[in-house]
């Protein structure tokens, strides 16, 4: 069996020629992105869409409430929900972090879960975000996908099949239950997923716990318990973090000033927005934007 180090080196060798600077960059294959960071990035708030993240070189540590989630060439990240979390990245100019991300397309996931049929359900509540030990099957599938990105005709004809290979391997892992829960549409986990989808679509609106609990068909106390178990935060904390990350995205687009950004994400008070932003990101909105833009140059 190929060792983790050898597999990571092989994937890094394939990915490296496709990299053009730091950041998360889309490829010619929809839903597939490449990651690169040639420096250490201290713990910072992030929001990933539902995806699989495979690291070829370097490592990351995710922080979700009281959980630490390590992913590196020996472990890949399965994220089924777009949860705000914090992440520390380890890379350097000599050995930058390199990786590949595959977005979890709901239609493809539904099709594959249906085709695979019923699986034995585990007793515990699915984790929305977890690292999974790299298997030989996943190593081979990701390497085939990465090689496909080098050849346009192969990408257009075989790209979807290569993505299916990768998703199939994830469905066979211990995180397969969490992926299936997104499709099967029953149980407390699925109810919380529906509430989170609403919050992400209407994050600028105000919601009471009673309103959200009613949507989930739970009592407020039961809803609060299950929400915190899955997201590692209260509904109010979750919505605040979601708004602040959305605000960061708007500010970095450079077409929103602080007042416009605060209003766009649901804040009625600009001073309160600035205080919350500084508390979460460590810098006031405009100063944080200048620092992030300078790092991207």
Determine the pLDDT at residue 132.
95
Kindly report the number of other CB atoms within 10 A of residue 219's CB atom: 12
Tens-digit pLDDT profile for residues 195-253: 998 999 999 999 999 999 999 999 999 999 999 988 889 999 999 999 999 998 888 87
Report residue 191's pLDDT band, with 50, 70 and 90 as the boundaries: confident
* 59-64/84-90 β-pairing: antiparallel
Determine the pLDDT at residue 145.
97
Report residue 255's pLDDT band, with 50, 70 and 90 as the boundaries: confident
Poorest-pLDDT segment among 50-59, 104-113, 164-173: 104-113
Residue 68: is its pLDDT beyond 50?
yes
Can you say whether the dihedral through the CA atoms of 105, 247, 47, 17 is positive or negative? Answer: positive
How confident is the model over 57-81, as a mean pLDDT?
Answer: 94
Cα–Cα distance measured from residue 133 to residue 53, given in angstroms and rounded to the nearest whole number? 12
| Helix (H) and strand (E) counts in the chain | 12, 10
Determine the pLDDT at residue 60.
96
Cα dihedral: 93, 34, 200, 111 (round 10):
-150
Cα–Cα distance measured from residue 31 to residue 226, given in angstroms and rounded to the nearest whole number? 30
What residues have CB less than 8 Å from 3, skipping those under 6 apart? none
Residue 136: is its pLDDT beyond 80?
yes
Q: Which of 216, 230, 273 is nearest to 248 (CA)?
A: 273
CB 217 within 8 A of CB 251: no
Tens-digit pLDDT profile for residues 78-87: 998 888 999 9
Which of 158 and 48 is assigned the larger pLDDT?
A: 158
Cα-based angle 39, 54, 104 (whole degrees, multiple of 5): 120
Determine the pLDDT at residue 124.
65
Mean residue pLDDT of the chain comes to 89
Percentage of the chain with pLDDT > 90?
65
Determine the pLDDT at residue 286.
84
What residues have CB less than 8 Å from 207, skipping those under 6 apart? 199, 235, 239
What residues have CB less than 8 Å from 4, skipping those under 6 apart? 73, 74, 134
Determine the pLDDT at residue 188.
82
How confident is the model over 150-167, as a mean pLDDT?
Answer: 95
Q: Which of 10, 8, 36 is nearest to 22 (CA)?
A: 36
Residue 185: is its pLDDT beyond 80?
no
Residue 1: is its pLDDT beyond 50?
no
Contacts 24+ apart (CB under 8 A), 196-204: 196/81, 196/82, 196/231, 196/238, 199/238, 199/239, 199/242, 200/82, 200/242, 203/239, 203/242, 203/243, 203/246, 203/265, 203/266, 204/243, 204/264, 204/265, 204/266
Element (H, E) at 93: none
How confident is the model over 49-53, as a mean pLDDT?
Answer: 93
For the chain, the residue count is 297
Q: CA of 111: how far to CAs of 106, 180, 189, in Å? A: 9, 11, 20
CB 230 within 8 A of CB 241: no
pTM of the predicted protein model: 0.84
CA 190, distance to chain mean position in Å, is: 18
Residue at token pair 């009613």: 214
Tens-digit pLDDT profile for residues 240-249: 999 999 998 8
Cα dihedral: 272, 249, 200, 232 (round 10):
-70
How confident is the model over 148-165, as a mean pLDDT?
Answer: 95
Tens-digit pLDDT profile for residues 108-128: 988 999 888 766 555 567 788
């Amino acid at each position: 069996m190929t060792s983790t180090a050898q597999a990571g080196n092989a994937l890094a060798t394939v990915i490296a020629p496709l990299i053009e600077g730091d950041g998360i960059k889309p490829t010619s294959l929809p839903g597939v992105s490449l990651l690169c960071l040639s420096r250490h990035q201290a713990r910072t708030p992030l929001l990933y869409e539902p995806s699989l993240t495979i690291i070829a070189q370097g490592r990351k540590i995710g922080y979700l409430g009281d959980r630490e989630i390590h992913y590196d060439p020996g472990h890949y990240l399965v994220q089924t929900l777009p949860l705000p979390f914090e992440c520390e990245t380890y890379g350097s100019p000599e050995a930058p972090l390199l990786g590949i991300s595959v977005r979890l397309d709901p239609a493809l996931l539904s099709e594959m879960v249906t085709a695979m049929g019923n699986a034995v359900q585990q007793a515990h509540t699915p984790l929305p975000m977890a690292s999974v030990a790299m298997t030989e099957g996943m190593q081979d599938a990701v390497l085939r996908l990465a090689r496909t990105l080098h050849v346009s005709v192969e990408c257009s004809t075989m790209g979807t099949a290569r993505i299916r290979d990768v998703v199939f391997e994830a469905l066979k892992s211990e995180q397969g239950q969490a992926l299936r829960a997104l499709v099967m549409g029953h149980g407390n986990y699925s109810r919380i997923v529906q509430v989170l989808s609403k919050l992400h679509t209407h994050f600028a609106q105000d919601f009471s716990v009673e309103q959200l609990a009613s949507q989930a068909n739970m009592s407020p106390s039961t809803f609060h318990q299950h929400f915190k178990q899955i997201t590692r935060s209260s509904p109010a904390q979750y919505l605040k973090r979601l708004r602040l990350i959305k605000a960061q995205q708007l500010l970095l687009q450079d077409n929103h000033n602080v007042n416009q950004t605060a209003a766009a994400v649901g804040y009625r008070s600009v001073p309160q927005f600035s205080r919350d932003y500084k508390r979460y990101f460590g810098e006031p909105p405009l100063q944080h934007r200048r620092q992030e833009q300078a790092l991207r140059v």
